[in-house]
Amino acid sequence: MTVQVKICGLSTPEAMTAAIEGGAAFVGLVFYPPSPRALTPAQAAPLAAMVPQGVVKTGLLVDADDATIEAILKQVPLDLLQLHGAESPARVAEVKARFGLPVMKVVKLRQAGDLEAVEPYLDVAERLLFDAKPPEDMENPLPGGNAVAFDWTILAGTTWPLPWMLAGGLTPENVARAVEISGAPAVDVSSGVEDAPGRKNPAKIKAFLEACRAL
């Protein structure tokens, strides 16, 4: 089974090189200022320039307005917009129409009933990403990258008409089990390949990609 990998929250040339050389299919740049992984368009541009043809440059956005997205795209030629906030299906459609880029909508899960949120996005998004809802008692949680996993059995046996990814608390040590249980065709990692929030470890990136190649 070939599992595609997205390394998200890349912020240094060393981490980007590790992701590309290790075979990541997607690389993620974060444009959400509260995140420790956040970049300005000027910071992201040279990293995006390192990415070869065929690797999908993904921009993580959280309830961003048109002006914010436009400013990013003027400097960073993204291939995919990852909408990680509370964007409605109508907003997803608006973003696609305005900027002409495919959209991956994030749906956050804690229990099986949360999957009901998926249906309205199936006609407007190109991809889905399932991430963990942060625990209710977590202080100052981020929209993603909280190093929190959800119950992967929620996704076991599900099928979707769109390509989808699994995120949330994945590490080199648990990704094989996560894929086995959930059936995920693609996975997204951020905190699981870091030494501290926002500090990617190239060796951990390499280990994660090797673990996925072995599946």
Could you tell me the pLDDT band of residue 148, with boundaries at 50, 70 and 90?
A: confident
Please report, rounded to a whole number, the percentage of residues in the chain having pLDDT higher than 70. 93
Distance CA 211, CA 192 (A): 13
Dihedral-angle region of residue 13 (phi above 0 means left; psi in -120 to 50 means alpha; beta otherwise): alpha
In this prediction, residue 177 carries a pLDDT of 97
CB-CB contact of 158 with 115 (8 Å): yes
Q: Is the pLDDT of residue 34 over 80?
A: yes
137-165 mean pLDDT = 80
In this prediction, residue 136 carries a pLDDT of 59
Q: How many residues would you count in the chain?
A: 215
pLDDT digits (tens, 9 = 90+) for 66-82: 999 999 999 999 999 99
Task: Map tokens 């059995």 to a residue.
Answer: 153
Distance CA 56, CA 41 (A): 17
156-169 mean pLDDT = 96
Q: Is the pLDDT of residue 138 over 60?
A: no
Domains of the chain: 4-213 (3.20.20.70)
In this prediction, residue 115 carries a pLDDT of 96
Task: Map tokens 């129409």 to a residue.
Answer: 97
The residues near 142 (Cβ < 8 Å, ≥ 6 apart) are: 32, 34, 35, 134
Distance CA 39, CA 180 (A): 33
Half-sphere exposure at residue 104, Cβ-oriented, CA atoms within 13 angstroms: 28
The residues near 119 (Cβ < 8 Å, ≥ 6 apart) are: none
In this prediction, residue 125 carries a pLDDT of 98
Half-sphere exposure at residue 162, Cβ-oriented, CA atoms within 13 angstroms: 20
In this prediction, residue 145 carries a pLDDT of 54
Q: Which two tokens stand for residue 122?
A: 């199936």
Distance CA 167, CA 193 (A): 13
pTM of the entire structure?
0.93
Side chain identity, residue 61: L
Which one, of 98, 68, 101, 70, lies nearest residue 85 by Cα?
68
DSSP class of residue 52 equals P
Could you tell me the pLDDT band of residue 135, with boundaries at 50, 70 and 90?
A: low
CB-CB contact of 189 with 175 (8 Å): yes
In this prediction, residue 201 carries a pLDDT of 98
Could you tell me the pLDDT band of residue 133, with boundaries at 50, 70 and 90?
A: confident
Q: Is the pLDDT of residue 169 over 60?
A: yes
Distance CA 196, CA 200 (A): 8
Mean pLDDT of the chain: 94
